[in-house]
Structure 1
Amino acid sequence: MRDIVYSFQVSLDGYIEDASGSIAFASPDAELHQYFNDYETEFDTHVYGRRLYEMMQYWETADQTETDPIIVGYAKTWQALEKIVFSKTMTAVEGNARLATRPLAEELAALKQAPGKQIALGGATLAAEAVRLDLIDRYHVVIYPVLLGGGKRMFPLFEHPLSLQLVEQQTFASGCIALTYERIRST
């Protein structure tokens, strides 16, 4: 069965956006960007909320306008991924994407049963619902060495603690740290 992985970039004090809604603090250098390129090969499907999908649209044509081989490589990998978008307002999506037609829990359950690689989940609002429903198997976080002091928190409030186990870690010259945690479930 495939894993659902919530991947995000965050400040040391736990914010995915600053108080103005900017994610400029999470600009990877070449080493970290190559890490993201390599990491993307573990997935064949991305599940997005509307806002993150719209932000990621940059990658739909980045290979036509950029010359940096790392950026071009990421764009080509991203374009090949299946993208499923949850939106209450969009009527169409572009490229290798489709709008979700079922509730989140049903859509993710069907994806987990289908053959393929891991499934990436992204978008703060969508991820908040998946966290509350305990649908995430792995959490992958890249922590940037910056304190934002406010903004959008990486996790919503939820009722019960979720136990996790560290399964992978990597430190970068920039001071960023990538951590992967697996959800520990009672049997």
Structure 2
Amino acid sequence: MGQLIYSAIGSLDGYIADPDGDFSWAEPDEEVHQYANDMLLGVDLHLYGRTTYDLMTVWETDPDFAAASRVYAEFAQRWMDADKVVYSTTLGEVSTRRTRLEREFDPEAVRELKESTGGGIVIGGPTLAAHALRAGLVDVVDQVLIPIVIGGGLAVFPDGVRLNLELEAERRFACGAVAVRHRVTGATPPN
């Protein structure tokens, strides 16, 4: 059975992007990017909402971007080698290989995906992840904390969901970022 991993890069105060949608402060340096690459080992499937998918397509659709460095090229290859599901009511069609479009997030279908894969499933983007968190589907939270406080914006975690977590791993980076990986030991869905 596969594990559903919520992967996020966020500020110390718990945001993915500031109130204007800017997340340039979270761009990983080479060491953090290599951590992300290594995290993708054993990942068979990525789940995205439309916004995150639109951001991620560059790894396949812009060869110059992906070839900008060794870590970029490695990430692009791992991303392209994995299957992807995009959840969107507005996207007309997908622009990358190994990608399937679904119109709505169905917790039962995701449970079946977890049962049918032996590898990891990464869910990216806080809006889509909120559905999985509320449904109690997330097994692991893998978060890189950037040493910045932005004071508001798009939250890493949805309101009303309580997670009981057990620290599995931590890592410090030279840039001051810290990666923490927690296993979800219990969740309380919102009222």
Show the 5 A alignment for 1:134-153.
Answer: 134-153=136-155
Off by >6 Å, runs of 4+ in structure 1: none
Distance apart, 1:101 and its partner CA = 5.8
The aligned amino acid for 1:19 is P
1:100/1:116 CA distance change after superposition, 3 Å: farther
TM-score (norm 2): 0.90
SS of the aligned residue for 1:9 comes to strand
TM-score (norm 1): 0.92
1:115/1:127 CA distance change after superposition, 3 Å: closer
Contact 1:3 1:138 in 2 (8 A): yes
State, as a whole percentage, how many aligned pairs show the same letter: 37
Contact 1:62 1:75 in 2 (8 A): no
**2:54 pairs with 1:57:** no
Which residue in 2 is equivalent to 1:23? 23
Which residue in 2 is equivalent to 1:119? 121
Q: What residue ranges of structure 1 are gaps of 5+ in the alignment?
A: none
Which residue in 2 is equivalent to 1:175? 176
Q: What are the superposed Cα offsets for residues 126-176 of structure 1, whole Å, 9 maximum, x if unpaired? A: 1111111211111110000011112111111125x3211011111111111
The aligned amino acid for 2:77 is K
- For 1:143 and 1:18, the matched residues in 2 are separated by 14
Contact 1:62 1:71 in 2 (8 A): no
1:133 to 129, 135, 151: 135
Show the 5 A alignment for 1:28-107.
Answer: 28-65=28-65, 66-94=67-95, 95-100=97-102, 103-107=105-109
Contact 1:62 1:72 in 2 (8 A): no
Aligned residues: 185
Q: What residue ranges of structure 2 are gaps of 5+ in the alignment?
A: none
What is the RMSD of the two structures over their aligned residues, measured on CA atoms? 1.6
Contact 1:12 1:145 in 2 (8 A): yes
Distance apart, 1:104 and its partner CA = 2.5
- For 1:54 and 1:26, the matched residues in 2 are separated by 17
Distance apart, 1:91 and its partner CA = 2.6
SS of the aligned residue for 1:163 comes to strand
- More off after superposition, 36-45 vs 81-90: 36-45
